[in-house]
Amino acid sequence: MDTYKEKEFDKKFDYRLWVAILKQALPHRKLIFILTAVMVVNALIDAILPLITRYGIDKMIIPRTYDNLVPFIAIYIGAILVQFVMVFLLIDLAGRVETGMNYDLRRNCYRKLQSMSFSYYDRTPTGWIVARLTSDISRLGDIVAWGIVDLVWGLAMIAFVLSVIFVLSWQLALILVAMLPLIGFISVKFQIRLFKSYRQVRRLNSMITNSFGEGIHGAKTTKTLVREEANLAEFMETNHKMYRSSVKAAVTSALFMPLILLISSIGTALVLTRGGSLVIAGVIGFGTLVAFINYTMHLFEPISNVARLFAEMQNAQAAAERVFSLLELEPEIISTVPFTDEWKARKMNGAISIRNLDFAYKEGRDVFRNFNLEIAPGESIALVGETGTGKTTLVNLICRFYEPVSGSILIDGIDYRELPLPWIHSQLGYVQQVPHLFQGSIRENIRYGRLDATNEEVEEAARLVRADEFIQNLPETYDYKVGEAGNLLSTGQKQLIAFARVVLANPRLLILDEATASIDTETEQLVQDAMHKVLSGRTGIIVAHRLSTIRSVDRILLLHHGEIVEMGNHHDLMKRQGRYHQLYMNQFMKEITEQELAEGLRPCS
């Protein structure tokens, strides 16, 4: 479980990771190249604006002449206009790189996710994956795109300003250069500290969010356990930590700029003292001094920019590590056989043999050991047994959502690892216990079974499973929006829709995993009829808690700890009076209770 903890990413520069990040930026190299050029021009103009001022002072004010006014205005306005275009381009281009990279990363991650087997999804919480594909990728794109902007601008600016000031007056330039290491050192130190503080704030913030969530979800429990004061005390503790870290981060951040500005004003003061004497001595011009004072300010901004970038690179590295850990996953189930048109046309017979199957989710915790089972084409079997005896696992293995650890599963006489995975999936229909519906209309959800089905076919399928009746009573019938995960429908209604969906798909192998558990007794009777029709002519595997639904299957398998302990049809098993009989009786009583209670009091004859 450690994998999903927020790791501390205080590692040093990870070379391999940055190569991987740059590879992601490769498709945008043209844009990045232009962006770099734009940034250089942008920095150049930022660097020469004080020079233009100097030109005005030295060529006009000092000699008291208007001669150069026209070129001065022309150059000034020209520079401003070029800057206008550059600023627009830099934001727009960086935005393009950012959004483009984010899109590519999201697409690649998503495609990778589609190739991952179920075991990955069993191990990995959905929230974790969602966070990788949303915030982490956003952060990565943001830092790469705007990092380039900061880096290129900062470095170019430093280079330009340094060369200009050395040309202007090397004596004064040396004063400023002497201060650079100090500024650089302070900046990097501060930015790293700031980055760590803010990360701490973010972590505490998500803890506070969770606390609020628990406070609301668990309100009833909290009240009945009289936990209000204790909960508040715990919350206040977290909240106090949040206060302390936030203030710490804010104070660090509040200290940074004043400190840099103070140092730069010391630079200004030194330049003024030394420069003033040089002006009086006639070594440099008046304008040169003024330009120099301007440059002291311009040198410190790019340095703090570059420093911030260094701090953010740690952040980027952490985000990148998580994103690439997803992108570099190896799928456990690989379909080696190509899904050719020939395969697409081929129908499954539905003969399944399981031979010497061993399976375990975790090493040392076997679910199946040397399990064998033959299912004839067109046969319908039912798997029953207590929770945790491997019914759903067996079904998942047959669907090749998982593969056997050892042993083999044959479909139509061929080891299914030698069959194309998409072909297997295209031939089977699978209805889950908690059916998952997608946001959208009922029609869209049923059509998910066969994307090119007509409206008539969709409604036909719904009629067959008796879903039509409740659908007709909904406000917009088939166009009724089912809400997030189908939450506007009851579980029973969702199961009927899922059933219609699989009927529409017309699979050769039909698997019903507790598919009718939440349908009320009356409807279930109707669905039973439909199930008969649907199951005829194809192989069916039914997992059921509710034993009344499986009385008519060809064979019932009672599983216990991964082994078949009883097998036969309903009649035989009842006669045997073993475990199945016991299970059946227990359940029957419960069902009768519910049914009677639902019907309420009837006058007794």
User: Does 9 interact with another protein (rule: CB under 8 A)?
Assistant: no
Stretch that binds another protein, among 167-175, 469-477, 487-495, 584-592 (CB under 8 A): 584-592
Burial 576-593 (b: 16+ CB within 10 A, else e): eeebbeebbeeeeeeeee
Gap between the terminal Cα atoms of the chain: 62
Q: Work out whether 108 is an interface residue with another protein (CB under 8 A).
A: no
The least CB distance from residue 541 to another protein, in Å, is 13
Judged by CB under 8 A, the chain residues 14 through 53 that form the site for another protein are 53
Length of the chain counted residue by residue: 605
3-state helix, strand, coil in the chain (%, to 5): 65, 10, 20
> In this structure, which long-range contacts are made by residues 192-200, counting pairs with CB atoms below 8 Å and at least 24 apart in sequence?
192/310, 192/311, 192/314, 193/252, 194/249, 194/252, 194/253, 194/256, 194/311, 195/311, 195/312, 195/314, 195/315, 197/245, 197/248, 197/249, 197/252, 198/249, 199/315, 200/245, 200/249
Closest CB 538 distance from another protein, rounded Å: 15
**Pick from 215, 393, 317: which is nearest to 11 by CA?**
317
Cβ partners under 8 Å of residue 348, min gap 6: 411, 412, 424, 427, 428, 508, 509
Q: How many residues bind another protein (CB under 8 A)?
A: 150
- Say whether residue 601 binds another protein (CB under 8 A): yes
Residue 561 contacts another protein per CB under 8 A: no
Q: Is 57 in the site for another protein (CB under 8 A)?
A: yes
Q: What DSSP state is assigned to residue 282? A: T
Burial track 73-99 (b if 16+ CB lie within 10 A, e otherwise): eebeeebeeebeebeebbeebbebbbe
Cα–Cα distance for residue pair 433/241, rounded to 1 Å: 44
Q: Does residue 575 touch another protein according to CB under 8 A? A: no
Q: Using the rule CB under 8 A, which residue among 10, 11, 71, 99 binds another protein?
A: 99
Give 417-441 as a DSSP string.
GGS-HHHHHHHEEEE-SS----SSB
- For the segment 258-287, give every residue that binds another protein (CB under 8 A): 258-259, 261-262, 265-266, 268-270, 272-273, 276-277, 279-280, 286
**Contact positions with another protein (CB under 8 A) in 130-149:** 130, 133-134
In the complex with another protein, the residue whose CB is nearer, 26 or 597, is 597
- Is 487 one of the binding residues for another protein (CB under 8 A)? no
536: contact with another protein by CB under 8 A:
no
Query: What does DSSP assign to residue 508?
Result: S
The minimum distance between CB 533 and another protein, in angstroms, equals: 21
Q: Which is nearer to another protein, 272 or 327 (CB)?
A: 272
Q: Which of 167, 182, 225, 414 binds another protein (CB under 8 A)?
A: 225
CB of 584 to another protein, least distance (A): 9
Q: Which is nearer to another protein, 15 or 114 (CB)?
A: 114
562 binds another protein (CB under 8 A): no
User: For residue 566, which phi and psi values (nearest 5 degrees)?
Assistant: -140, 145
Q: What DSSP line would sit under 316-371, residue for residue?
A: HHHHHHHHHHHHTPPPSS---S---HHHHHPPP---EEEEEEEEEEETTEEEEEEE
Please enumerate in sequence order all residues whose Cβ is within 8 A of that of 382, keeping only pairs 6 or more positions apart, or say none: 541, 542, 543, 544, 550, 553, 555, 556, 557
Tell me if residue 116 falls in helix, strand or coil. coil
Q: Does 111 bind another protein (CB under 8 A)?
A: yes
Q: Which one of 72, 166, 310, 480 is in contact with another protein (CB under 8 A)?
A: 72
Binding another protein by CB under 8 A: which of 546, 561, 579, 581? 581
Residue where the block lists tokens 């800057």: 83
Q: How far is the CB of 480 from another protein (least distance, A)?
A: 18
325 counts as binding another protein under rule CB under 8 A: no
Interface pattern 394-433 for another protein (x via CB under 8 A):
-----x-x--------------------x--xx-xxx-x-
Residue 74 interacts with another protein (CB under 8 A): yes or no: no
DSSP designation for 562: T
Using rule CB under 8 A, residue 565 touches another protein: no
Q: Least separation, in Å, of the C-beta of 163 and another protein?
A: 23
Do 318 and 143 form a contact (C-beta atoms < 8 A)? no
Is there binding between residue 469 and another protein (CB under 8 A)?
A: no
123 interacts with another protein by CB under 8 A: no
> In the range 441-460, which residues lie near another protein by CB under 8 A?
448-449, 451
137-168 and 15-25 helices, crossing angle to 10°: 90
Of 167 and 598, which CB lies nearer to another protein in the complex structure? 598
Q: Which of 128, 156, 145 is nearest to 316 (CA)?
A: 145
Give the x/- contact pattern for another protein in 164-193, rule: CB under 8 A: ------------------------------
Applying CB under 8 A, the span of 346-354, 463-471, 498-506, 528-536 interacting with another protein comes to 498-506
Radius of gyration of the chain (CA): 36
474 binds another protein (CB under 8 A): no
Q: What is the largest CA-CA distance in the chain?
A: 126
**Shortest spacing between CB 191 and another protein, in angstroms:** 16
Give the nearer residue to another protein in terms of CB position, either 269 or 337. 269
> Half-sphere exposure of 268 toward its Cβ, with a 13 Å CA cutoff?
15
CB of 12 to another protein, least distance (A): 27
Compute the least distance from the CB of residue 282 to another protein, in Å.
12
- Per CB under 8 A, the segment of 147-155, 209-217, 370-378, 552-560 that binds another protein is 209-217
